[in-house]
Amino acid sequence: MAARSCTPCKAAAASTEMPKHQWIDSNAQLADAAERWSGVIGLDTEFQRTDTFYPIPGLYQLVAGAEIWVIDPLAIDD
């Protein structure tokens, strides 16, 4: 089964007036972002719980300092 990505979520997040954030949907982007995470971080997780016995990660939201990342775990395989 091919990895799915939350494209509608990405489009909705880009259209709202929120603090600037970075959308991560590749292994390379995740590695680059992880190098900048230090100190205290905040993490929020969202899971797909329908049609599955085990919850499947659907979205991670992370803040470190003044930077915000929205991570698509369905598009990342690392």
Reported as a single tens digit per residue, the pLDDT across 23-78 is: 999 999 999 999 988 888 999 999 987 887 888 899 999 999 888 999 999 899 87
CA distance 69 to 64: 9
End-to-end CA distance of the chain: 16
2-23 average pLDDT score: 61
Q: What is the pTM of this model?
A: 0.67
